[in-house]
């Protein structure tokens, strides 16, 4: 009985999709608009008289302006010991490596940083000790219970007090702590850079859906390496040596590259 019902529903959906496609192909000289989400409209135009068909994708995406240290703020959301135990999208060592690398990127470029946690006295646990040690001078907002950090007045007002429009964010979990804050900040006019490899969640499927959701809301999906490179822009800047050292310590392949270069220079080749 259940199997038959599922088959009937499937056939019904196929018929509906076929009917929609047929109606599109039969519209002569008309433009049909379909709302893909709140930001994007797909316009399908077919003109049989000129045999000229086109599909146009339009939206409210703003032109991209790269990160700069003077207008950027780093946010570390709910990197807590209890939540850390649930991260399965990376190995524990890789995840800690990426979180600390992002934190040291903020320090290298002298960018202010805010840490926040939720219900530290419960199972979520305290903020990761490694992160606290790295960002010992950062502002910490310990929320009493709000799941979305943006719903906490102190956190939200602290972010606004810096008067910086580019927010580099990471959090546990990717689909809740990072995504909720990212969508809320975007709604209030901020440009959000979601650092996926310094964030984590329970499964790859969940992570992928969170990435899609943030990207559709115009968040920039980034890695800590991409964030640091975009801030540097040119190796000749004063932070170039410091960035090379950061890469050597937190990107194994880059450490090997530097070692190879040093070995070559020492032999005079």
Domain boundaries, the chain: 15-59, 69-232
Residue 61, pLDDT score: 52
Residue 31, pLDDT score: 44
CB 201 within 8 A of CB 190: no
Q: pTM of the predicted model, to two decimals?
A: 0.75
Catalytic-residue membership of 177: yes
CA within 13 Å, CB half, 135:
27
List the pLDDT tens digit at each of the 269 positions of the chain.
444 544 544 454 444 444 444 444 454 444 444 343 444 443 433 333 334 333 333 445 556 788 999 999 999 999 999 999 999 999 999 999 999 999 999 999 999 999 999 999 899 999 999 999 999 999 999 999 999 999 999 999 999 999 999 999 999 999 999 999 999 999 999 999 999 999 999 999 999 999 999 999 999 999 999 999 999 999 999 999 999 999 999 998 887 777 777 777 776 65
> Quick one: tokens of 204?
């790859």
For the domain made up of 69-232, give the CATH fold. Answer: Rossmann fold (3.40.50)
Measured distance CA(266)–CA(269) in Å, rounded: 8
Residue 63, pLDDT score: 66
Residue 4, pLDDT score: 52
Q: Order of strands, edge to edge, in the sheet holding 166-171?
A: 139-143, 113-118, 72-77, 166-171, 191-195, 220-222
Q: Write out the E strands in 93-245.
A: 113-118, 139-143, 166-171, 191-195, 220-222
Residue 190, pLDDT score: 97
Residues near 170 by Cβ (< 8 Å), separated by ≥ 6?
A: 75, 76, 77, 79, 99, 102, 178, 194, 195, 198, 199
Catalytic, out of 67, 177, 219, 243: 177
Residue 40: helix, strand or coil by DSSP? strand
Measured distance CA(166)–CA(191) in Å, rounded: 5
Residue 58, pLDDT score: 41
């Amino acid at each position: 009985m259940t199997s038959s019902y599922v088959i009937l529903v499937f056939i019904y959906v196929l018929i509906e999709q076929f009917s929609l496609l047929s109606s599109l192909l039969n519209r002569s000289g008309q433009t049909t608009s379909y709302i893909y989400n709140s930001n994007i409209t797909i316009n399908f135009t077919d003109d049989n008289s000129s045999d000229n068909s086109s599909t146009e994708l339009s939206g409210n995406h703003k032109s991209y302006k790269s990160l700069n240290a003077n207008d950027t703020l780093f946010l570390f959301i709910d990197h807590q010991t209890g939540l850390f135990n649930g991260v399965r999208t990376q190995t524990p060592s890789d995840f800690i490596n990426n979180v600390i690398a992002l934190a040291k990127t903020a320090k290298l470029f002298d960018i202010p940083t805010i840490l926040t946690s939720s219900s530290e006295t419960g199972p979520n646990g305290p903020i990761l000790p490694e992160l606290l040690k790295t960002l010992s001078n950062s502002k910490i907002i310990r929320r009493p219970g709000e799941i979305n950090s943006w719903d906490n007045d102190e956190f939200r007002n602290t972010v606004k007090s810096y008067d910086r429009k580019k927010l580099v964010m990471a959090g546990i979990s990717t689909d809740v702590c990072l995504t909720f804050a990212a969508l809320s900040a975007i709604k209030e006019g901020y440009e959000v850079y979601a650092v996926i490899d310094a964030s984590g969640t329970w499964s790859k499927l969940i992570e992928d859906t969170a990435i899609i959701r943030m990207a559709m809301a115009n968040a920039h999906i980034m890695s800590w390496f991409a964030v640091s490179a975009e801030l540097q822009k040119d190796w000749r800047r004063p932070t170039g040596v410091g960035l090379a050292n950061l890469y050597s310590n937190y990107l194994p392949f880059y450490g090997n590259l530097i070692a190879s270069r040093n070995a070559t220079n020492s032999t005079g080749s």
